[in-house]
Amino acid sequence: MLHLVGRSPPVSILDLGCGHGRYAGPLAKLGAEVVAMDASLVLLHRALNQLGDVGRRIRWVQGEMSALPFCGLFDIVILLSAFGYFNNEGDDEQLLTSVFEITATSGHILLTNPNAALIRAEFQPQREERREGRVVSIRSRLDEAGQWLEDDLVITDDLGEHQYQRRQRLYTASELTQLLECTGYVSVAHFADLDGAPFIESSASHIVTVGQRAA
């Protein structure tokens, strides 16, 4: 991530939708000043307990993205698999506007999203994934316009079986570019992964998007 945006510590990073600290921890370990926010207090406690001394160097914040509680400026704001989950059209752009306002001059935003073009072309109503020792069974529905994806998930791990639903607004790379440019970001670029592989719309499962605020 740091390589993609051309930055290195010391650098201030806001991790929105941080979950259990999968990215916040390693970034803090590299020497970044990290603020990590999530709506789930359970996940924040889990992150703090798992990360030990590194976790105590991170500022953990419980809150909703619809009302960001920050007044300072960050060099980098990341939303990794955490964008597009509002229910109403226009809320995503409002979030990007709020993020822009707390991004420092020449600062960056970094997002990861499913590639809408590939999902529409190769839609799978049912699939199974394995993630970090968990088995995730997913049943999916796609609306007629191909814009909204609804998933029913069953997660099986050492603690048993858990079920939940999610609904996400899908975006193509060009739609993400338009959103970021309308918000005020410049130099928008897309990659296939966090290693910076070239983004090919017909084959990339995800879109890694980097936008920079003007100097």
Query: What is the per-residue pLDDT across 36-87, written as a single tens digit (0 to 9) for each?
Result: 999 999 999 999 999 999 999 999 999 999 999 998 899 999 999 999 999 8
Considering only residues 78 and 131, tell me which one the structure prediction assigns the higher pLDDT.
Answer: 78
Is the confidence at residue 132, as pLDDT, over 80?
no
End-to-end CA distance of the chain: 20
Query: Does 70 share its domain with 153?
Result: no
Give me the sign of the Cα torsion angle 155, 45, 109, 179.
Answer: positive
If one counts the domains in the chain, the total is 2
Give the pLDDT of residue 47: 95
Give the burial string for 178-195 (b: 16+ CB within 10 Å, else e): ebbeebebeebebbbebe
Give the pLDDT of residue 158: 83
Closest CA to 123 of 105, 143, 104: 143
Contact 4, 23 (CB under 8 A): no
Give the pLDDT of residue 146: 94
Query: Does 63 share its domain with 110?
Result: yes
- Identify the weakest region by mean pLDDT among 139-148, 151-160, 205-214: 151-160
Local confidence band at 215 (pLDDT 50, 70, 90 cut-offs): confident
Distance of CA 55 to the CA centre of its chain: 20
Query: Does 105 share its domain with 83?
Result: yes
Give the pLDDT of residue 148: 97
Query: Does 125 share its domain with 53?
Result: no
Local confidence band at 182 (pLDDT 50, 70, 90 cut-offs): very high
Q: What's the chain's length in residues?
A: 215
**Tokens linked to 107:** 């600062």
Query: Does 103 share its domain with 11?
Result: yes
Instruction: Give the CB-side neighbour count of residue 34, counting CA atoms within 13 A.
Output: 28
Mean pLDDT throughout 145-161? 92
Is the confidence at residue 97, as pLDDT, over 80?
yes
Local confidence band at 138 (pLDDT 50, 70, 90 cut-offs): very high
Instruction: Quote the CA–CA distance of 172 and 170 in Å, as a whole number.
Output: 7
Tokens 């570019």 identify what position?
177
Q: Is the whole-model pTM more than 0.85?
A: yes
Give the pLDDT of residue 102: 96
Is the confidence at residue 103, as pLDDT, over 90?
yes
Query: Does 100 share its domain with 144?
Result: no
Give the pLDDT of residue 194: 96
Is the confidence at residue 142, as pLDDT, over 80?
yes
Instruction: For 4-37, write each residue's pLDDT tens digit.
Output: 999 999 999 999 999 999 999 999 999 999 999 9
Query: Does 41 share its domain with 105?
Result: yes
Burial of 102: CB neighbours in 10 Å, binned 0-12, 13-18, 19+: middle
Query: Does 92 share its domain with 37?
Result: yes
Query: Does 101 share its domain with 53?
Result: yes
Query: Does 64 share its domain with 102?
Result: yes
Contact 142, 119 (CB under 8 A): yes
> Which residues constitute the domain of residue 140?
119-166
